[in-house]
Structure 1
Amino acid sequence: MSSLLIYNGKLIGASGILENAYLYARDGVIYDIGVDKPTDIDEDIVLIDAEGLYISPGFIDMHVHGGGGHDFMDGTVAAFLGVAETHVRYGTTALSPTTLTSTTEALFQTLDAYKAAKEINTKGAQFVGVHLEGPYFALSQKGAQDPKYIRHPDPEEYEKILAYSDDIVRWSAAPELPGAIEFGRYVKSKGKILALAHTDAVYEEVQAGFDNGYTLATHFYSAMSGITRRNAYRYAGAVEAGYLIDEMDIEIIADGIHVPSPLLRLVFKIKGANRIALITDAMRAAGMPEGESILGAKQEGTKVIVEDGVAKLLDRSAFAGSVATADRLVRTMIQEGYVSLFDSVKMMTSTPARIMGLDSKGYLAIGMDADIVLFDDDIRVAVTIIAGEVRYQAH
């Protein structure tokens, strides 16, 4: 690998923003950070004048389904590479491919495609493990998930799935289902991240789930219970539990639509940047013109319409996935969540890195991976760098 020097930028560090800064990387790792341009420069070095742009840690998207006309459930290497190459244009340097409810056979095909694609992915965002979203959900909170595949946890099935692939890093499920606590304990015992999702749980059920490994809330507010009444009595739901359990991490689709401005402000006020990860939850239409699209696998998926900056079911009764990209999330948190640029970037970088256990990613410091994005005041991405190599440069 060649050396890389980025200079004349505003570097977003772990504790603040450094003006007129430079970053020097060698062999894919950050070697030095400082102010002004160094004079002792190697001859064999890639020089990038940031021209006053922000020098930021690369964006980490821990929940993404597709983009650029591809969905991971297509189950092909081409789809995986196409999604990765789409999102790298918007500053994403690492992403976790996410599945949908499906047959076990379709899931295994997707896992096989991931294993093959990660070996040859040299142009797109880096893959950092597969996130299984479903099929163990509350049918009443199915959202755009295909109801015919939704079911209760089955030990024979989930043990087989986890034995099939070492690439699975996270599983999202509803903690109130029969067998969900035992499922959670098993997933946790295998060292995987466990998250609650598509759930109608009340507070007590979420707390029981949290005590058994459900430490993350998948797309907070979306397909998730709030205050409910049962036989005249009010119960706090999963949303309230996410607020009350201080140690619970949450992820939000910060497109301003799935979570509108007042809720962006509320969730940040209560949970703060250290407990919130911004996610795109993007489906195949991300990075594409609006119009008809398909949620899920190209052949068996659900037809949807993309309009007003979001995917919807054809009858407009529910959202059918996001078409956001990482730059849009950061921009929206600043403009509609009234959050500082520094904290908005943290929720797209160091917080997801911490949740996913990516110890060498998430912030810019000596010894960390040289995953970097350059953008302007409007979060328009100019350059995306992974392991010290430029993978996208705006023209």
Structure 2
Amino acid sequence: MIKIYNGRIITPTGILNNGTLLIEGSRILEVTENNIDVEHAVEINAGGRFISPGFIDMHVHGGGGHDFMDNTVAAFLGIANTHAQYGTTALMPTTLSCEHTDLMETLAVYEKAVPLNTMGAQFIGLHIEGPYFSMEQKGAQDPRYIRHPDPDEYKQILSSSKHIKRWSAAPELPGALEFGKYMAENGVLPAIAHTSALYDDVLKAVEVGYSHVTHFYSCMTGVVRNNGYRSAGVIETTYLLDNLTVEIIADGKHLPPALLQLICKIKGVENTALITDAMRGAGMPEGPSVLGALKNGMEVIIEDNVAKLPDRSAFAGSVATADALVRNMVTLAGLPLFDSVRMMSEVPARILHLSEHKGSIAMGKDADLTIFDDNINIEATMVNGRFVFNKIR
């Protein structure tokens, strides 16, 4: 048994000052006020720091110099270990548009890496991002691999792995509605991404099961004007439809403070998840890097705490870590710490249907915890009752 005491515990209903947590095995046994005597427990003094539910990153490509599409177990474990140092206790490995054979290899490596991941953030399923995207909204996705949905292809991919939990696509493409319906019927979250869709396209997508919008504002339409007539794009339609959830890259680069505030004001904290969308440069020095696999990825440059295309014409991914996202929502968007933490824990857990076990500190839930100071500097990270990063000792 582990007892963590003298902490400010962020619970589902508020912050419990001078709180104590009891952990037995991989689960939270008790959450209580004040210090209590527990025989034979390993005691850890939180020193007045915050004890938060572990951060859940539902969209991440890499970190620590690795990308999931390097397709090695070492890369998977290195990414999990890197992000654990910044408070992430669970993450969703995310692919990029690629050759079919490369994607199949990623699925196979995921299977190998899961049982070996004992000192990093837990893998909670795969997110396939692409290749069914609008070429006009490709962003940093490699145009060589972008194509329309192919039923034979996506059905074969889905049947080959039980770990695919979400798939991002452009719903206006030929065959994309059938694709989304098939995903939803098979327990996979279909998400709207890299899209030229307009209002009617989004309505049709929602009808067949699309319920989430990937990296909101990035690579999607706003108001479109045609011969003087305006049409709502994905952004305005997402604001209008209450049943669409969103994720945002709150790295302070992809979205300015005013948009962070607007999203929270209209969509609400309860419908907005924070994501890093981090590539291999997360946790690494600035300089040249590669987006995607080392063998055939795109050259990028990391500077100003963001990845850019070499000509600096557009961003090419984030190098954010989860602690920075929470910090930015407090300092840039002006949100209370309680709400900022929810967006990095409770909200993604609910979107991914993991709330029964993850996303909040409560009796019986997984002991996924992050301990940080007043400046959200991570001091310890616990995954399923085991410290994978600990500076407190």
TM-score by length of 1: 0.98
Residue 283 of structure 2 corresponds to residue 272 of structure 1: no
Aligned to 1:87: 83
Which amino acid in 1 is paired with 2:306? V
Q: For 1:1-395, what aligned pairs fall within 5 Å after superposition?
A: 3-39=1-37, 41-43=38-40, 45-358=41-354, 359-394=356-391
Give the CA deviation at 1:394: 2.8
Letter in 2 for 1:368: K
Q: Which amino acid aligns with 2:13?
A: S
For residues 62 and 191 of structure 2, what CA distance do their matches in structure 1 show?
Answer: 20
Taking the aligned partners of 1:177 and 1:342, their CA distance within structure 2 comes to 39
Q: Deviations over 1:317-360 (max 9, x none)?
A: 11000000000000000011111100000000000000001120
**What is the Cα deviation at residue 17 of structure 1?**
0.4
How far apart are residue 273 of structure 1 and its match? 1.1
List 4+ stretches of structure 1 deviating above 2 A.
none
Structure 1 residue 231: deviation in Å? 2.4
Deviation at 1:35, TM superposition (A): 1.1
Where 2:371 maps in the other structure, the secondary structure is strand
Q: CA deviation at 1:137?
A: 0.3
Quote the offset at 1:175 in angstroms.
0.5
Q: 2 CA distance for matches of 1:348 and 1:128?
A: 15
2: CA distance, partners of 1:100 / 1:248: 23
SS of corresponding position for 2:81: helix
- Return 5+ residue gaps in structure 2 as ranges: none
- Distance in 2 (CA, whole Å) between partners of 1:241 and 1:47 is 51
SS at structure 2 position matched to 1:330 = helix
Aligned-pair Cα RMSD in Å: 0.7
Question: Deviation digits for residues 105-127 of structure 1, max 9, x if unmatched?
Answer: 00011111100000110000000
Amino acid at match of 2:149: P
Q: Distance in 1 between matches of 2:237 and 2:312?
A: 29
- CA distance in 1: counterparts of 2:286 and 2:93, whole angstroms: 23
- Where 1:10 maps in the other structure, the secondary structure is strand
**TM-score of the superposed pair, with normalisation by structure 2:** 0.99
| CA drift at 1:79 | 0.5
Question: 1:48 & 1:312 partners in 2: Cα distance?
Answer: 42
C-alpha distance after superposition, 1:160-185 (max 9, x if no partner): 11011111000000000011001111
Deviations 1:85-133 (A, max 9, x none): 0000000000000000001100011111100000110000000000000
- What is the CA deviation profile of residues 243-278 of structure 1, one whole-angstrom value per residue up to 9, with x for unaligned ones? 000111000001111011110010011111110000
How far is 1:46 from its partner?
Answer: 2.4
Gaps of 5+ in 1: none
Which whole-Å CA distance do the structure 1 matches of 2:352 and 2:197 have between them? 24
TM-superposed deviation, 1:203: 1.1
- The residue type equivalent to 1:223 in the other structure is C
- Between the two proteins, the alignment pairs up a number of residues equal to 391
Take 1:333 and 1:212, find their aligned partners in 2: how far apart are those partners? 33
Residue aligned with 1:56, SS: strand
User: What is the CA-CA distance between 1:211 and the residue it aligns to?
Assistant: 1.2
Q: State the SS of the aligned residue for 1:119.
A: helix
Identity %: 56
Report the 3-state secondary structure (helix = DSSP H, G, I; strand = E; otherwise coil) of the residue aligned with 1:118: helix
SS at match of 1:288: coil
Letter in 2 for 1:54: F
Aligned counterparts of 1:365 and 1:394: Cα–Cα separation in 2: 24
Mapped to 1, the partners of 2:362 and 2:236 lie a distance apart of 36
